[in-house]
Structure 1
Amino acid sequence: MSESRPVLSDPKAMRALAHPARLAMINRLSAVGSATATELAEVTGVTPSAASYHLRMLAKYGFVEDAPGRADGRERVWQNVEGGFSVGYEPDEPMEVRAAKEFLVDAIWRDADEMARRAIEQADRLPAEWRDAATMTHATLLVTAEEMRVLGERMNELLQPYGANVRRQEGVPEGARIVQSQVRIFLRPEMRTPGLPTEDHGAADGLTD
């Protein structure tokens, strides 16, 4: 996520966003630009009244807003707030804030992992040109902190012109479809070495002689 985006710090806002239905709505609005509660209900598995409630909660914390009305004007139309958000970590932040961030990040990546799995499962149904164009890369890099920062910035810069909102404003090329990009660059965590059983390990498991 770009560093220029607002950094979330309100635990209530982060926990509100982490709800699966709300994340699904955010993702759907990213793809289609704008939608009504009824339209979002159809793709998120909730009732229209529940969708309206979730959208009001997202609006309360600044994640969605009213979109330009449609011709019939019969139903409220929603869109994501421009600019998105980011989640960063500070060493001395309150435990409540850190816990909310971890909860949100876990929900976001769980949703992203599920989307990637569905894409793999459905790959054989895709036209060859889309199947061959897809890529999922896992790489181990050896870089400095500055190089890692620059790499992230360059990847964001590369992706930015292809953002769905940007394309909708500047003109959608013929044949374009919604594509999901998932980028993670992080310092590899220390690997935990399995410990040897302690003398009372068996007793703890009820396995004493």
Structure 2
Amino acid sequence: MIDESRRQTRVRDAATMRALSHPARIAVLDRLFSGEPATATELAEVCGLSPSATSYHLRALAKAGMIEEAPSRGDGRERLWRSQHRGLDVATGPERGPAEQAADRELATVFLDLEEARAREWLARRDSEPYEWYLASASAGVRLVATAEELRELNERVLALLEPYARRSRPNPPPEARAVDVTYRTFPRA
């Protein structure tokens, strides 16, 4: 199901979550969520695989309904792929069955690993970045004391602050804009 206000796909079933649970597939989706179609060869560069291995992942994503073939750019010899979606909304909740909960945990682990790898990659290259980007970047941790209702309200407010800058909300960003990863997590401590 697509949330038309954000063009995000709601993923609640175990089969789709399992289809997404691979770093190469997430990299492909991230690229195709831009709205620009791409070939297996172009997407292979994004996910670090061969074009034939990438084609395998493209077929799996198509079978899961996440991507589709796009019209050709020219003579029709190249096979283009696109996604009508611009993001994912993945959650099962405690009311779902064990298969959905296990698939949700598996997919969340893939996302956590990717976020960690991106943060480490930034740490490795931040000293060679332009000074303005070095200063603009941040990493912070804050321990809060909140009720469940207060935490839900805080999450809604923070996500509302981020939304105007989201790629899906900003088709024509300023020329000096760069893609920026923001990781936001809230969870109760044990």
Aligned-pair CA distance for 1:88: 2.3
Where structure 1 has 5 or more consecutive residues not aligned to the other structure, the ranges are: 191-209
Supply the distance in 1 between the matched residues of 2:133 and 2:155 (Cα, whole angstroms): 26
**Preserved CA contact (<8 Å) 2:94 2:101:** no
Find the partner of 2:14 among 6, 11, 16: 11
- Check if 1:90 corresponds to 2:97: no
Aligned-pair CA distance for 1:63: 2.0
Greater Cα offset, 88-97 or 112-121: 88-97
**In structure 1, what is the equivalent of residue 162 of structure 2?**
159
Alignment size in residue pairs: 185
Supply the distance in 2 between the matched residues of 1:150 and 1:68 (Cα, whole angstroms): 43
Q: Which runs of 4+ in 1 moved over 4 A?
A: none
What is the correspondence of 1:111-130 to structure 2 with a 5 Å cutoff?
111-130=114-133
**In structure 2, what is the equivalent of residue 199 of structure 1?**
none
SS in 1 for 2:81: strand
Aligned-pair CA distance for 1:96: 1.6
**Preserved CA contact (<8 Å) 1:25 1:44:** yes
Residues 173 and 103 of structure 1: is their aligned pair in 2 closer, same or farther, counting only changes over 3 Å? same
Aligned-pair CA distance for 1:105: 0.5
**In structure 2, what is the equivalent of residue 136 of structure 1?**
139
User: Residue type of the partner of 1:34?
Assistant: P
- Check if 1:182 corresponds to 2:183: yes
Supply the distance in 1 between the matched residues of 2:70 and 2:165 (Cα, whole angstroms): 22
Greater Cα offset, 80-89 or 102-111: 80-89
- Check if 1:27 corresponds to 2:30: yes
- Which one has a bigger Cα radius of gyration? 1
Percent identity (aligned): 42
**Preserved CA contact (<8 Å) 1:33 1:165:** no
User: Residue type of the partner of 1:109?
Assistant: L
Residues 176 and 116 of structure 1: is their aligned pair in 2 closer, same or farther, counting only changes over 3 Å? same
Supply the distance in 2 between the matched residues of 1:183 and 1:108 (Cα, whole angstroms): 12
Higher strand share: 2
Supply the distance in 1 between the matched residues of 2:118 and 2:138 (Cα, whole angstroms): 14
**In structure 2, what is the equivalent of residue 62 of structure 1?**
65
Where structure 2 has 5 or more consecutive residues not aligned to the other structure, the ranges are: none
Supply the distance in 1 between the matched residues of 2:71 and 2:143 (Cα, whole angstroms): 45
Supply the distance in 1 between the matched residues of 2:180 and 2:37 (Cα, whole angstroms): 17
Output the aligned Cα RMSD: 2.2
**Preserved CA contact (<8 Å) 1:66 1:78:** yes
User: Residue type of the partner of 2:91?
Assistant: G
What is the correspondence of 1:165-204 to structure 2 with a 5 Å cutoff?
165-168=168-171, 171-188=172-189, 190=190
Aligned-pair CA distance for 1:79: 3.0
SS in 1 for 2:96: coil
Residues 117 and 12 of structure 1: is their aligned pair in 2 closer, same or farther, counting only changes over 3 Å? same
